[in-house]
Chain A
Amino acid sequence: MTRAPFAIDADALHAYADGQLGEVERAAVERHLAANPDSAADVAAWQRQNEAMRALFPSTAGETAPARLSPHRISHNQRFERQQSLRNIAAALVLVVLGSGIGWFGRDYLTPTRAASDSLIEAAVTAHTLYVKEKSRAVEVAADAPNLMSWLSDRITTQIDAPDLTADGFRFLGGRLLPSAPTDGLPSPAAQLMYENSEAQRLTVYITAALPDKKESWIYRKGGSSDAYYWSTPTITCTVVASVPESQVKMLGHKIAEQLTWRADSTPRDW
């Protein structure tokens, strides 16, 4: 409120009431008020208003401010929060890197397990469908050929004997060697054994060496014309394919599993 020739206007009166004038201006306003009762009344009213407002909302200088209003504390908390969020970002980055690494290096162990059983079942069913139709050339090597089973055992690098299913009416016809599905990590090749009962129903057993994960699993898959019963053990995988009722496929599957795994790991199994 400094102006060249100091004029006593409304602004100057407000400034006077609010104590914002210097000594010279204040004296000038006081002289003006002494001569102008109307202005004096205004200023006095404003001063009473100021007084009332200050009484209504007293200074808080005497109060102890709560800790949450301490600038030092707020600043400290903000620094702490920043560090905390940096730490969280760092931790998240470590997790992303770890997760990616596990995913990348573990991809061979994670994905193929289920795909392997699916591929093997599919290959077994395809081979079954292809060869059961053959009347006279159903098998590559007949059951009575010498060294059939030792040859197959050598080629699939797993010791096997042809399971005996005569008690259930199935006669062993013979076997053949097959390439297995061209998927990474699948055991190859495969041995297919074929059986036939008196009603000319045929059953095939598709055998490979164990999968890399050597896990035990059992899968029963219904198909259009024939069902497949697959299992894997630490020593072998086997898929039984036949066009007989499910209960019979399972029963035969258990008998085959018992004979094959007994032969393979010398441990009798309890079904």
Chain B
Amino acid sequence: MQKFLDEIEECVPALRRYARALTRNADRADDLVQDCLERAIRKQSLWQPTGSLRSWLFRILLNLYRNELRTAQRRGAHVPVETLLVEPSVAPTQPGRIALAEMASAIDALALEQREALLLVVLDGMSYADAANSIGIPIGTLMSRLGRARAALRTMTGSGDEPRLRTVK
């Protein structure tokens, strides 16, 4: 029991990071993580120790987030712009570096299924197998979503144009 809780605790920073990226709101993100942890701890008997605890937690988080989105859509709610967590703490000094604000709005414009897949793989560094498991899709589907997400981001941020290409080693 204690070990189970310790293992969950190790995942909390990653869950918070992913939730922030999804919701763009630190408080909403922590609410989501709290719901996720409460559910996981209450339903711990449902967790199969054969699977990865980490991907199970992310699956719960994602389901909660999708439910929340559906509810918000029914209510017609939206996230006000000023609450977005866009803090370009690092100025885009390097050539070829994508402006962070531009990137943020491009990510927002992605379809949900592409956004959740891309952020999961990139931010958490989760293996493709675990990520596909968390999202609940076959690995081939995950790969095609990643491909489409990256192509769409490139179009929207204009990072595919010539001058920037030359800066690649």
Pairs A–B under 8 Å by Cβ, sample size 26: A10-B147, A14-B143, A19-B125, A44-B165, A45-B165, A49-B103, A49-B154, A52-B100, A53-B21, A53-B103, A53-B118, A53-B122, A57-B85, A58-B17, A58-B89, A68-B30, A69-B16, A69-B34, A69-B37, A71-B6, A71-B9, A72-B2, A74-B37, A75-B5, A78-B41, A78-B42
Write the B153-169 contact mask toward A (1 if CB under 8 angstroms, else 0): 11001011000010011
Smallest CB–CB gap between B65 and chain A, Å? 15
Residues on A with beta carbons closer than 8 Å to the beta carbon of B86: 56
Contact B128 A71 (CB under 8 A): no
Q: How many Å from the CB of B154 to the closest CB on chain A?
A: 6
Is residue A51 within 8 Å, beta carbon to beta carbon, of the partner chain? Answer: yes
With contacts A19-B125, A49-B159 taken as known, whether A60 is within 8 angstroms of B150 at the C-beta atoms is no
Query: How many chain A residues touch the partner (CB < 8 A)?
Result: 38
List residues of chain A with CB under 8 Å of any chain B CB. 1, 10-11, 14-15, 18-20, 40-41, 44-46, 48-61, 63, 65-66, 68-72, 74-75, 78
Docked complex Cα distance between A90 and B41 (Å): 25
Q: Are the CB atoms of A48 and B98 closer together than 8 Å?
A: yes
- Residues of B in contact, count (CB < 8 Å): 51
A178 to chain B, nearest CB (A): 72
Assembled-state Cα–Cα distance A10/B125 (Å): 18
Asked if A71 meets B5 with Cβ closer than 8 Å, knowing A51-B97, A54-B122, the reply is yes
Whole-angstrom distance between the Cβ of B90 and the nearest chain A Cβ: 5
CB–CB B13/A65 < 8 A: yes
Query: Which chain A residue lies CB-closest to B33?
Result: A69
Which of A60, A68, A78 neighbours the largest number of chain B CB atoms within 10 Å of its CB? A60
Q: Are A78 and B143 in contact (CB-based, < 8 A)?
A: no
